[in-house]
Every structure is written in C-alpha cells, then in structure tokens.
Structure 1
Amino acid sequence: MKEDLASRFDGVTAYLQAPAEGQWQDGEQSSTDEIVIFEVMVDDVDLPDWRKRRAELERRFPQDTVIARYMPMALV
C-alpha cells in the first residue's frame, strides 16, 4: 500500500507508530480497533480512483469501513 501510494503520488506519509488505536461507541457498546493512517497531497482529487482504492482496501482487510477523506490545503 505505502509503495503504491508513493509511486502514484510521488510521496506518502505513513503514521504507523504502535499502530494507533481507535475507539467507537455504539450506544452502550464500545469497540476498539488498530488503525494506520496514510497521507498524500495532490493538486486535484480523483474521486473515482479513491473510491476504487477504498473498495479494494475493504475487500483486502477485515474492516467494516475503510475511511478515505480529503481536505483542501494550501502551502503558506
């Protein structure tokens, strides 16, 4: 995954320490999961490509949902 992102987008930042732990509340139930975060910065977001990547990751890993998000950013 990391190598694919680095190749496709000329770089990637992977937050892999520990790995991080996520915790979710569903009413009275609490669930935890180990998470990793990959970050890439691009000028234009190709939403169909990212939706395809997300679907592939959901098939590959035992996750209910893989979150892919984008946020506008600007260098200052």
Structure 2
Amino acid sequence: MHLVSLLLPLYDNTGQPFEPAQYAWIRQTLTERFGGLTAYTRAPAAGLWRDEGQTIRDDVVVYEVLVEELDRSWWAAYREELRLAFQQDELMVRAQAVELL
C-alpha cells in the first residue's frame, strides 16, 4: 500500500487565486478512482525555495490518497495534467510505502 500526496498551489504565478472548481475537479477524479481522499485545506502549507538568489514562496494544499498498487505511469500522466492546469514549472506528487498497524 502507498500514500500518494499531491501538493497543489493556491495561487498562480501572478498571485491570483485558482478557482475552487479546479480543486473540485481533482477531488472528484481522485475519489472516483481511489474511493476517497484526505484534503488538508484549512491551513495551507508554505513552500519556500531559492531561485537565482531569490526566495520564492508557494502556499499549497495537500490531497492524499491510499492506493493498493502504485501505477507510476498513471500518476506521471496525471501530474503532468495538473502541472499544465496550474501553470507550474514543477508540481510535486510523491508516494511513500505505508504499513497499516
């Protein structure tokens, strides 16, 4: 079993918030495909990184799903679809093995 996390930006590169419909579409897609999801939306996480000597900040929400099998090709294609939809240079989708206790 794997936990897949998607870190989704709240704002575009000009600082404008993305429409709520973009997140609803993702929630629907993940819920239909995987049977549910957990969304961390109330306290956005702050991502910071350095680019050409400048510190850049991104506020993100996190969506997570548990999957029995990790379909890497589906996730790679979906990450690219989200990257384009959110107009990002990169978009973080990560997976980690999970052992239920």
Instruction: Name the counterpart of 2:95.
Output: 70
> Which residues of structure 2 form unaligned runs of 5+?
1-25
Query: Structure 1 length normalisation: TM-score?
Result: 0.89
Stretches (4+) displaced over 4 A: none
* Bigger relative contact order, structure 1 or 2 (CA pairs below 8 A, ≥6 apart): 2
Counterpart of 1:26 (choices 32, 44, 51) is 51
Shift of 1:27: 5.9
| Between structures 1 and 2, the one with greater strand share | 2
Shift of 1:22: 1.1
Instruction: Name the counterpart of 1:17.
Output: 42
Instruction: Name the counterpart of 2:76.
Output: 51
Alignment RMSD, CA only? 1.3
Query: Structure 2 length normalisation: TM-score?
Result: 0.69
